[in-house]
Amino acid sequence: MGAACDAVALMPAPPVTVPRATLAADASCRVGYDLAPARGAIEINNLSIIFGQPGKEFLAIDRVSFAIKPGEFICIVGPSGCGKSTILNMVAGFERPTEGSVTLDGVAITKPGADRGMVFQQPSLFPWKTVRANVAYGPRMAGLLDRDAYCLADQYLEMVGLAQFAGNYPKTLSGGMQQRVAIARALVNRPSVLLMDEPFGALDAQTRAMMQETLLRIWADNKTTVIFVTHDIDEAIFPGDRILVMSASPGRVVLDIPVTLRRPRSTDISLDRLFLSIKKRCLEIIRREILSAFERQAQASESNHS
């Protein structure tokens, strides 16, 4: 990476979302990042989603409404099957609302777009491409010259601490390293929203803790809006500005709780009294939701047998 790297100035995204880390990496960037309005505001209004064919409909999401401010880090938790991934897929543009609306910066989301980056539980990298080529893929598809796309990829690989593995193939990296490549690949397109669906769910506890800290550091540098889905309450409280707790299916938001813990945060914040009280509240509600789902299932199976 060096002064010759002018890819940043060529990228089509509005300037406000240019990561500070990128600007720091290349002093030649000519970007007026403080002039444009912030991006990444999401509004979900009265959203319901019904899956299945007529006569066999299944209500997955039931009149969910919430708004997310640009740059907010929102975590969604809730029992399995409550619709967390469905909401992410909706914001990603993979699904369409049955009722209600989902907007990004005031515009209805109707399809996937480069303004939203997605990171899944499995890194889903191209196995035949090097790490560098995986990260450069998005910018190349956006029309950057190869030279600029690879230069940008190098900057983002440096941001996730993997610059020295740029020439490796994904299978030669650990799960945590692959997931860092996936994060770099999502961020290199400079999305206004980063959608993360249990991104660290497949990692061991130590790698997971390290990844949580890495993500928080990257977010502090980028200030992209993040929607982070997890089953792990600690993992939600640690980075989050807010936690949304969903009911058992059909999914509704039953708690929207701010996390006002000081920043920057390190893992020892999990001993803080506020952290523990938020955790207790979330766990109580999730437990209540799981129990009520079990009761409903038991009643349904009884009425089927009678």
Ligand X SMILES: Nc1ncnc2c1ncn2[C@@H]1O[C@H](COP(=O)(O)OP(=O)(O)OP(=O)(O)O)[C@@H](O)[C@H]1O
By CB under 5 A, name the binding residues for Mg ion.
85
Indicate the residue among 58 and 294 with the shorter CB distance to ligand X: 58
Report if residue 93 touches ligand X, rule: CB under 6 A.
no
CB of 65 to ligand X, least distance (A): 17
Burial (Cβ within 10 Å: 0-12, 13-18, ≥19) of residue 199 = buried
Q: Which of 17, 22, 85, 222 binds ligand X (CB under 6 A)?
A: 85
Residue 134 binding partner per list Mg ion, ligand X, none, with a CB distance cut-off of 5 to 8 Å that depends on partner kind = none
> Residue 226 pairs with which residues in a beta bridge?
73, 194
Number of residues binding to ligand X, judged by CB under 6 A: 11
The torsion of the CA quartet 184, 185, 191, 195, rounded to 10 degrees, works out to -90
Q: The sheet that has 225-229: what strands, in order across it?
A: 116-119, 193-197, 225-229, 73-77, 242-246, 253-258
CA distance 199 to 182: 9
Instruction: At 61, list the tokens.
Output: 């999401």
Q: Which of 18, 26, 62, 86 binds ligand X (CB under 6 A)?
A: 86
CA distance 57 to 74: 30
Indicate the residue among 26 and 197 with the shorter CB distance to ligand X: 197
Report if residue 83 touches ligand X, rule: CB under 6 A.
yes
Residue 51 binding partner per list Mg ion, ligand X, none, with a CB distance cut-off of 5 to 8 Å that depends on partner kind = ligand X
CB of 117 to Mg ion, least distance (A): 17
Residue 264, phi then psi, degrees to nearest 5: -70, 155
Indicate the residue among 23 and 293 with the shorter CB distance to ligand X: 293
Residue 126 binding partner per list ligand X, Mg ion, none, with a CB distance cut-off of 5 to 8 Å that depends on partner kind = none
Residue nearest to Mg ion (CB): 85
Q: Which residues contact 71 (CB under 8 A, 6 or more apart)?
A: 38, 40, 223, 224, 225
Amino acid at 118: M
Binders of ligand X among 223-252, rule CB under 6 A? 249
Site for ligand X, rule CB under 6 A: 51, 58, 60, 80-86, 249
